[in-house]
Structure 1
Amino acid sequence: MKKTFVLVVLFVLPVVIYLFFASGVNNFGKLPILTENVPEISAIDGSVSLEDKITVLGFLGDDTSNKKGIAFNLNQKIYKRFYKFKDFQFVMMVPLGKEQEVEEIKRELGKLVDMQKWNFVFAEENKIRDFFTELKTDRKLDEHLGIPYVFIIDKDRSLRGRKNDEDEGTKYGFDASSVADLNNKMVDDVKIILAEYRLALKKNNADRQK
């Protein structure tokens, strides 16, 4: 009896654990699509595109000095961790006239990491409002055209998030002013969407080789 128990622990239990986690990856390996057909930002700035990119999208507003903490949090907790992945980028919308202030932010962040995948799109007030409205979230821009939340946009220009978040229910974005939200939720969700595309790429490559 004791020998049978030992055999079960050594051989059967690891298999059961593996199957449990394998099924978990299959069931929870995709972030829900919350909004489809997010507008292509290249219509505003031809040098930046959402198509075929995994994008962290944010709205800094015109009070950029008060958004430095948010930019720093994102840079440290998300960007530094993932920017080396192919097709990953940051896009921040900023009102026209704030170019000099943004350059200062870029200089400060650039002391910590390569800024090549940080993109800043400068636009008129109405274009920023219209673009944000098309995200169809439960959030609103403040009077400065900014918001502390950032959003994950996939390669097909769909906004990804959570439908059953334990705190918010439907979770459209992540509070960049909260290190806890970035660490405990956004890091995981970025990992999921990157893994989703890696698995799809491997499957496509395998299918071509058949």
Structure 2
Amino acid sequence: MAFIIIMMLSKDNYNPLDIVNKNVKELPNNEENISLKNHITLLAFFGKNPLQHSVAALNLKELVYDRTKGFKKFQVVVLLPKEAKAEAEQLLKQIKSYEDLRFWHFVYADDADIKSVYNSLKTHEPLSASLSTNSVFIVDKDRYQRGRLDDRTKKEIEEKKPSYPLYGYDCIAVSELKNKLAAEDMRVLFKEYRDKRTGKFEGSTTRRADDLKN
């Protein structure tokens, strides 16, 4: 599936996916030695009651993970409090079915470490009291957060509406996961890394977060 996604872009002109933040913290030490560095990660936070996020988890698994799990170094990481382990294992059983989830990781950490990682992300919303959010974030191999500096629709651009960014993707919004994250942004990022491996990537065309006017 990952090969098909990349081939869809092989003859297209495309803009690399925006870097919106260069300061994403590495994951805390964990038993499985899961890290963000050198991986393309979808980073999620399901909090102290992960079963309450079963819809978000299932959407993320079916609409994004199942389509992209074959790409080298891709992973889904869900950062959770240690007390949520029992519920997380139940959630995994709910979404697993007969699918291969070896690139889907639950990482358990202290509350302070979870907050620290989340606070290093650029986002419009605070983490809930239960350490959860319905948003998922793209983190590239350099631990740069990817997204969109300008998420306006064509109509909004034509009407000269003010630009606004997209830092995270709502796991409850099926159209956002399916159309923006899976069909557009992830395949563009995979194309970028494929071009880097083959020496075809023009790094100078990448739009950086430095271009944002704060």
Measured in 1, the distance between the counterparts of 2:34 and 2:177 equals: 25
Q: What is the one-letter code of the residue matched to 2:75?
A: Q
Q: Which has the higher contact order (CA 8 A, sep 6+)?
A: 2
Q: Summarize deviations over 1:85-119 as a string: whole Å, max 9, x none.
A: 11000000111111111111112222141010011
2:146 maps to what in 1?
Answer: 160
CA contact (8 A) 2:28 2:113 kept: no
1:140 maps to what in 2?
Answer: 126
1:79 maps to what in 2?
Answer: 65
Aligned match for 1:183, one of 174, 178, 185: 178
Give the C-alpha shift of residue 22 in structure 1: 5.9
Give the C-alpha shift of residue 136 in structure 1: 2.9
TM-score, L = length of structure 1: 0.81
Measured in 1, the distance between the counterparts of 2:189 and 2:64 equals: 13
CA contact (8 A) 1:59 1:150 kept: yes
Matched, 1:24 2:13: yes
Measured in 2, the distance between the counterparts of 1:203 and 1:42 equals: 33
Gaps of 5+ in 1: 1-20, 205-210
Matched, 1:62 2:58: no
Q: What is the one-letter code of the residue matched to 1:115?
A: L
CA contact (8 A) 1:37 1:158 kept: yes
Measured in 2, the distance between the counterparts of 1:147 and 1:184 equals: 20
TM-score, L = length of structure 2: 0.79
Q: What is the one-letter code of the residue matched to 2:13?
A: G
Aligned match for 1:194, one of 173, 190, 193: 190
**Secondary structure in 1 matching 2:120:** helix
CA contact (8 A) 1:53 1:87 kept: yes
Count of aligned residue pairs for this structure pair:
181
Structure of larger gyration radius = 1
Q: What is the one-letter code of the residue matched to 2:173?
A: S
